[in-house]
Structure 1
Amino acid sequence: MALRRALAAAGRRCAQRLCSAAWGDTIFAVSSGHGRCGVAVIRTSGPGSRGALQSLTGRPALPPPRVLALRRIRDPATGEPLDRGLVVWFQGGDGVHQSPPKHHPGSAGPQSFTGEDCAELHVHGGPAVVSGVLRALGSLPGLRPAEPGEFTRRAFRRGKLDLTAAEGLGDLIRAETEAQRRQALRQMEGELGRLYQRWSDALTQALAHLEAYIDFSEDDNVEEEVLSQVDATVRALEQEIGSHLQDGRRGELLRGGVRAVIAGPPNVGKSSLLNLLCQRPAAIVSPAAGTTRDVVEVALNVGGYPLVLSDTAGLRDATDPVEQEGVSRARDRLREADLVLAVLDATAVPPEPAGLGAVLGSLQPPTTTPCILVLNKADLLKGNGGSLRAACAQGQPLPPVTFLSCKTSEGLDHLLALLARELARLCGNPLSGSPSLTQSRHSLHLRQCIAALARYGQERQSDLGLAAERLRLARRHLGSITGHVSTEDVLDIIFRDFCVGK
């Protein structure tokens, strides 16, 4: 069994060496974004980086690695000066494919982002300068423009980062809030990958011990207690992975934004609230009821957390077909929402908790979805203002309540504070505790991993071969998250721990 897998792994390694021959080209691209800017950074990666830098600077000697040097940059075909800027050289590997390491890579190895020879040219960011340098690079043999994400893909193939770190890098580039930046930076630095790798290592060791017992127990080289150790490891992993999955989708909400829906009857100020929060006329406001017919969506930053806010049609029994469709879409958004801002007219609600709760319930927000009750038009409250505020202060059965005037902005600070508190509760602190799940594919593979571990427990008593297959499947799902799947790891542990064949 183990021998067959070793032969299969050898075949895969041979295929990888053949594929690596196709990676011999050198890529280049603007890595600092496009458009006019003070400085543009143009990056190359691949075996032709050394020659490209020598050709564009006209100097055979390269600057010391990772040291900026001022150089005149010329078109190698005509000798025409293109710019005068800073260049930096990064010494890469030897061009041979490196398998991803078992743990998140540290500082050892080639000191470039991709693990290959790299060069950077820091030139002035005018379009003519940038296009001239790119044109000059494209004229060199063996160089071509990079495809989207190809630098990071090469870094992954060279073992400079795993898939979770690559995803964290993409999230860091797209981060728009402080909390998103903190979570993405933590993932890019490898915390999530190290957590999954630790589970994978424990599972690899359990699988190796189980296979050693299957293959060699008749020779008395493996003791019976090995099975008990494997069982204990599997139970501990089931519990730990299960706890990791029960995080309330904090990481996913922080990465993609909390979906909040403004809901309420017609003409209570829902669109005015949307415009007030985003500080621009994003939605049409009219005294006529039923103006909003479709969902209007904006993205906001509230307290450092991302919020995707939707204004919806007024909830009522509509007769107009277009308004009926708008109400239907509003109810669909309510069912999918992570947070509901229920807006009511403060001058038209009962001034007691039970009556106010009944009006809120008529909107039919999901009972499990967090809700903030916004009583708008508070500037029009007269005699019953005191009794209404007293009823709201009693709390149950009401959610958190805030009084607001979209006309005067009175109460806006309190609403923003409530919003920030709810967002912090839903997303959590990205800097504390274990790193959170950030991708739905992580959740999918982890759930399949747990399912395989559960099947191990069911088949352990009847067929050890099937039980071992369940552990291999669970390990494969963990490896699919980080991009590290290797049969040779199992063989290493078998021979290390049991010294079979001595």
Structure 2
Amino acid sequence: MVKHEISTIYAVSSGSPPAAIAVLRISGPQAGAALQALTGRSFEPRRASLARLRSQSGELLDEALVLWFPGPATATGEDCAELHCHGGRAVLAAVSDALSKIEGLRPAGEGEFTRRAFANGRIDLAEAEGLADLLEAETELQRAAAIANVDGRLSAKVGSWREAVLRLSAQVEAALDFSDEDDVGELPAGFTEGLAELDGELEQALSAPRAEKLKEGFRVVLAGPPNSGKSTLFNALTDSEAAITSPIAGTTRDVIERSVAIMGVPFSLVDTAGLRDQGGEEIEQIGIDRARSELVRADLVLWLGPEGAGPRDAWEIAARSDSPDFAPKASGAHVVSAANGVGIADLKLALVVEARSALPKAGEGALNARQVARLEEAHAAIRAALEQSDLLLVGEELRSARLAFDRLIGRATTEDMLDTLFGRFCIGK
């Protein structure tokens, strides 16, 4: 069989130029040769050295800090190099052009450095997904959840479940091996208890808040009749003028949604059309219908209408406390005035506390839809094993559970899925 030579890739891995410093990464079997071609010298591993970068014709391109990382103990599992250049566009273009003329080198594709790290066993699939989430994180909770997966906490937990399945499978195999034609061997004491304990752990993991909720944000819908102060409060909570405010009834005719971070917690705040039995016209009625649909989707509704008239479990908001016709509500309601800021800070704090109880805890990893699907497969197999009395069928269910765990962390996966995942990364990562 002919072994195909692995190409050496390069890309700018820092932010878009211009910048004070830019980092060019090189990974692959020709990384060392590329350094030699650019600098005319070799470098001590893992030690920063100052060097002049030159083109093939000897033209000085830049003076850069150079780092050399021989594989396999590198980020990608391959020989790697980093060029910390001056971050001007012309400098990066010149150095990249010089790299392109070196035999065996080519520009990297999206996420190709991370894909090589996965292919070479430096990270598993859950860690790669965590890294993609980390790059997209916009709030502190999103960052903390992503870093937990990058740090391998989910992978370690899945690994412990997989080891438990292997131990249980070994017990089943031993019982089958020691059986004769007329009698099946007995399972050791504690087998059923161990299986039930694993079932409970998987059920608990599946009941935890999902990563999608962390990305979308805790959904808060402001609702009430026309002219109840929804849009004014919406603007105060989002620190914007996204919603038009007016004393004219029916000003808000459609759903207005804004993603915001409050104290590091992601929210989706939704302003809606004023609710009344009949809209003033067809367009307003469409807005009212959409507002009612939003009430169903909400994680929490802030009700600014008459007390007790809102959806079940909605928070009562006594808005416009500065107004001469202010209508107070019973104790427990949030009294606010978006005009002078009364109660806004307290309402934001209460929203953060409520959202934190529904979102993944800081520092805990969160399962995405793909991971949940694989974990559900493993859970279903463990449940089926608990209900079986035939040891052959018990062993088959345990094998199915192990395969689901393998797919979760990437021991068994498909190229299409990998293309989709690593396509989320920028070039140079």
Distance 2:292 2:135 in 1: 34
Task: State which of 25, 45, 50 in structure 2 corresponds to 1:70.
Answer: 50
Paired with 1:452 and 1:287, the residues of 2 have a C-alpha distance of 60
What is the CA distance between 1:214 and its match in structure 2? 2.8
Q: Which residue of 1 is the match for residue 334 of structure 2?
A: 402
Aligned with 1:253: secondary structure?
helix
Pick from 381, 384, 387: which aligns with 1:452? 381
How far does residue 263 in structure 1 lie from its aligned partner after superposition?
1.9
Name the counterpart of 1:287: 247
1:371-450 → structure 2 map (5 Å cutoff): 371-381=314-324, 388=328, 391-393=329-331, 395=332, 401-427=333-359, 429-431=361-363, 435-450=364-379
Report deviation, 1:277: 2.1
Aligned partners of 2:216, 2:123: CA distance in 1, in Å?
23
Question: Map of 1:126-205 to 2, 5 A cutoff?
Answer: 126-205=88-167
Q: Deviations over 1:271-312 (max 9, x none)?
A: 222222222222222322222222222221112111121222
Comparing both structures, which one devotes a greater share of its residues to helix? 1
CA distance in 2, matches of 1:255, 1:156: 24
Structure 1 residues 36, 266: closer, same or farther in 2, change over 3 A? farther
**RMSD of the TM alignment (CA)?**
2.5
C-alpha distance in 1 between matches for 2:5 and 2:295: 49
In structure 2, how many angstroms separate the alpha carbons of the residues matched to 1:257 and 1:65?
44
Could you list the runs of 5+ residues in structure 1 that have no partner in the other structure?
Answer: 1-17, 94-109, 350-355, 396-400, 487-502
Q: Give the match's secondary structure for 2:75.
A: coil
What is the Cα deviation at residue 114 of structure 1?
Answer: 0.8
Q: Partners in 2 of 1:30 and 1:374 — Cα distance?
A: 51
- Cα offset, 1:44, TM superposition: 1.3
The answer to whether the 8 A contact 2:382-2:398 is kept is yes
Contact in 1 for aligned 2:134/2:146 (Cα 8 Å):
yes
Partner of 1:210: 172
Match of residue 18, structure 2, among 16, 32, 36: 36
Residue 268 of structure 1 pairs with residue 228 of structure 2? yes
| Alpha carbons 1:65, 1:90 under 8 Å: kept | yes
Secondary structure at the counterpart of residue 17 of structure 2:
coil
Contact 1:301 1:307 in 2 (8 A): yes
Aligned CA distance change for structure 1 residues 408 and 442 (closer, same or farther; 3 Å) = same
What does 1:99-110 align with in structure 2 at a 5 Å threshold?
A: 110=73
Instruction: Using structure 1 for the length normalisation, give the TM-score.
Output: 0.76
8 Å CA contact 1:250–1:426 kept in 2: the answer is: no
Residue 58 of structure 1, CA deviation = 2.5
Determine the structure 1 residue equivalent to 2:281.
Answer: 320
Distance, in Å, in 2 between the alignment partners of 1:342 and 1:36 is 49
Aligned AA (2:291): A
SS of equivalent residue, structure 1 residue 467: helix
Shift of 1:339: 2.2
The percentage of counterpart residues that share the same residue type is 41
- Cα separation, 2, equivalents of 1:416 and 1:46: 50
1:331–1:213 CA distance, 2 compared to 1 (3 A): same
1:319 to partner: Cα distance: 5.2
1: distance between equivalents of 2:233 and 2:53? 55
Equivalent position of 1:81 in the other structure: 60
Equivalent residue, structure 1, for 2:411? 484
- Structure of higher RCO (CA pairs closer than 8 Å, 6+ residues apart): 2
Match of 1:305? 265
Mapped contact 1:244–1:436 kept (Cα < 8 A): no
